[in-house]
Amino acid sequence: MSEQQQPLTAKQITDDLTRPIFSLPGVHWLGGFLTAAGISGALFFAVAVYVIAGYGVFGVNNVVNWGNDIGTYIYWIAVAVAGTIVSSVLLLFRQKWRTGVNRATEAMTIFAINIAGLFPLIHTGRPWVDYWLIPMPNDLGMWPQFKSPIMWDVFAITGYATCSVVFFYLGLIPDFATVRDRATRKWQKLLYSMLAMGWKGTSSDWNHYERAYNQFAWIATPLVIGMHSTIATLLAVSHVPGWHATVFPPYFVAGAIFGGLAMAFVILVPMREMMKLKAYITDDHLERLAKLLLACGMVVAYVYGMEFFSAWWSESPMEREQFWWRLTGESCWSFWLMAFCNLIPIQLLWFKSLRRDFRVLFLVGLLVNVGMWFERYNIMALSLRHGQMPSEWTSYAFTPFDYMILAGSFGMFFTQILLFVRVAPVVSIAEVKATLLGGRKHEDAPHA
Amino acid sequence: MPEPLPANHVAGFWSDEQTFLAACGAARDAHMPNPIAFAPWPVHGLERVMGHKPSWIGRAVMVAILLGAAGCLHFFVQSSVLEWPINVSGKPYFAPQFWVVPILETALLAGALVNLMACFHACRLVPGDAEVVDPRATDDQFCLVLAVDGERYSRESLQRWLSDHRAERVEVRGAAATEPTHA
């Protein structure tokens, strides 16, 4: 690996970034993969039981009818959002440092959104008729209810997932060609020839490719903001105390970037250390991500405050009751855990030395992830448990199957991440070369 | 199918981006017939020195976005107003405001898909093996391919021209490689 101070060469960059593809996996990777795959089995088991036995295997009830599945769905969607924000928005702003982290965050987007997509499908109760959500001609001449933000969400998720996948794949094509031309094993040559689509890298190819790649950033950015705003609107248009707030769309977008960036640390820090990528995912990269995390965290802190202020200012007894109950009720532990995890650890990031310490960043990332999951749990479960009607106030508890789908979703996510690091370069080879080698001479390089 | 390389050609290779860029500009200035430049990473200014027009993909995507929006609007009018009109207390049960989000999402999705397909078409990308000029052209070397074409662009003159432009490696490919030299 290239931890030495002398400048990197193109060959060395290719060597470093394709090594995991051409070498056999180590013990750490195998251990991690088997563990993650094993945990993801819990998700499949729980879903199998649910399909046979029905939705009653989960802890939801008539009052708290949106529980773990929808909360976890929003959590994973948020993780996906940050990946696109890092990749697309930083590209639009011509931030060269994105090249070190954009591939990993794009992968995070793809894997998070496919897990997120599972949860609404589970939540419908009868997943075998989920295709009814898709507007299509039918014998009854009936269409889905387009006045409902839930239908908007179907459009948003479908569009965003498709766009993210093609954006991710387009970015990989030149790198797949590099791998193809280095592969010596026949099966690898064949596989990467298919994936590279015959990429040759002529000046004409790059001319069209760069336009298309930049356009994806323009397309993905409104799509991702629109998608998470839609999810927030889905809650905000209801009358449930704790949901009925106009601040929800920007709150959800900021929270999503916050939680997703935290997940980026959870992925990037071990990846950088174990795959020896310090020359590509540098302390500077991590520090800039940490600044973004801190900024988003402060926005989230402001919104937490504003939620309470709005509840008080609204003079609505139910809003006031809801938020007072969150602070002091029997489930206040989940509120205080969320507040602690989301607001306290990020204060460490005011200090430059801590922003450059990968152990601190990993720990902060983990804690913020815990906090952000509890934020969604609180929004879902606590709001519904303590609604408008005191006669409806009830309890909500996870069943073992709730724990299984929650843990299994994390297992599935990390299984996909671990597979990804073995089949594709985790840092964009072409972009890093353009930045590190071409960028030295052309500060205004369009791709850098 | 991907654009084939000229049957008889001379290929020059560079490791330095600037020298390669200068050679590409010189090849265009010398009116070489269809020089083809290969780069392992995007090089700023290469499209300009090679005389490429700005990509047309942007216009294709704009059309796709407009068509996507129009198609989705048509769908909503068809499904909510014409085919299945609901009337509640004398008022139609739909509101165009509610269509805004799905129309936006559908338009952008159409744009994304057309963007990908247009890029594949423009770059002639199809699954399968590519006629790679050199394995290092996707790794660490830039390459300029010049077609051997008659006396004016003979194998020897092209080799000399590439060497004069500081190519680190010059290779003759195709039938020209086996012909006797005229030097």
Distance from CA of B55 to the nearest CA of A (A): 5
Q: Which residue has the higher pLDDT, A36 or B44?
A: A36
Looking at B80, B97, B122, the residue that finishes a domain is: B122
Structural domain includes residue B45? yes
- Give contacts of A173 with chain B, Cβ < 8 Å: 125
- Average pLDDT over chain A reads 88
Question: What's the pLDDT band for A444 if we cut at 50, 70, 90?
Answer: very low
Q: Is residue B98 part of a domain?
A: yes
Residue at B2 is within a domain = no
Same domain, B65 and B86: yes
Domain coverage including residue B64: 57-122
Answer yes or no: is B163 within a domain.
yes
pLDDT at A371 over 60: yes
Residues of A in contact with B39 (CB under 8 A): 201, 203, 206
Q: Where are the alpha helices (DSSP H) in A243-314?
A: 248-274, 283-313
Question: Helices (H), strands (E): how many in chain A?
Answer: 17, 0
Give domain status of residue B4, yes or no: no
- Which of A124-133, A210-219, A345-354 tops mean pLDDT? A345-354
- For chain A, the straight-line distance linking the first and the last C-alpha, in angstroms and rounded, comes to 23
Q: How many CB atoms lie within 10 A of CB B83?
A: 12
On whether both B75 and B113 belong to a single domain, the answer is: yes
Question: Between chains, do A163 and B43 touch, taking CB under 8 Å as contact?
Answer: no
Same domain, B61 and B101: yes
Whether residue B128 lies inside any domain: the answer is no
Per-residue exposure over A309-334, b if at least 16 CB sit within 10 Å of its own CB, e if not: ebbeeeeeebbbbbbebbeebebeeb
- The answer to whether the CB atoms of A197 and B125 lie below 8 A apart is yes
Asked if the Cβ–Cβ distance from B122 to A10 is below 8 Å, we say no
Shared domain for B61 and B31, answered yes or no, is no
Same domain? For B23 and B74 the reply is no
Residues A82-91: what's their mean pLDDT?
84
By Cβ distance, the residue of B54, B99, B129 closest to A146 is: B99
| Domain membership flag for residue B3 | no
Give ipTM to 2 decimals.
0.90
Is the Cβ pair B44, A442 closer than 8 Å? Answer: yes
- Of B77, B101, B122, the residue at which a domain comes to its end is B122
Give the model confidence (pLDDT) of A45-62 as tens digits.
999 999 999 989 999 988
The whole-number pLDDT of residue A102 equals 87
Residues of chain B with pLDDT under 70: 1-3, 175-183
Give me the pLDDT at residue B182, please.
53
Inter-chain touch A11–B139, beta carbons under 8 Å: yes
Domain check: are B61 and B116 in the same one?
yes
Q: What is the pLDDT of residue B152?
A: 76
pLDDT for the residue A446: 37
Cβ within 8 Å, pair B41-A151: no
Query: Are B48 and B138 within one domain?
Result: yes
Domain boundary residue among B72, B100, B122? Answer: B122
Could you tell me if residue B127 is inside a domain?
Answer: no
Give chain B's domain count: 2
Q: Which pLDDT belongs to residue B176? A: 62
Q: Model confidence over A255-304: pLDDT tens digits?
A: 999 998 999 999 999 999 888 888 888 899 899 999 999 999 999 999 99
> How far does the CA of residue B156 sit from the closest CA of chain A (Å)?
24
- In this complex, the residue of B15, B18, B128 whose CB is nearest that of residue A198 is B128
CB contact at 8 A, A12 and A1: no
pLDDT digits (tens, 9 = 90+) for A399-420: 999 999 999 999 999 999 999 9
Shared domain check, B75 and B27: no
Q: Is the pLDDT of residue A141 over 80?
A: no
Same-domain pairing of B39 and B80 = no
Res A143 pLDDT > 80: no
Residue with tokens 């597979």: A419
Looking at the structure, tell me whether residues B47 and B67 fall in a common domain. Answer: no
A190 min Cα distance to partner chain B (Å): 8
| Same domain flag for B62 and B115 | yes
Is B115's CB within 8 Å of A216's CB?
yes
User: Are the Cβ atoms of B37 and A203 closer than 8 angstroms?
Assistant: yes
Q: Are residues B70 and B118 in the same domain?
A: yes
- If you measure CA to CA, which chain B residue comes closest to A141? B84
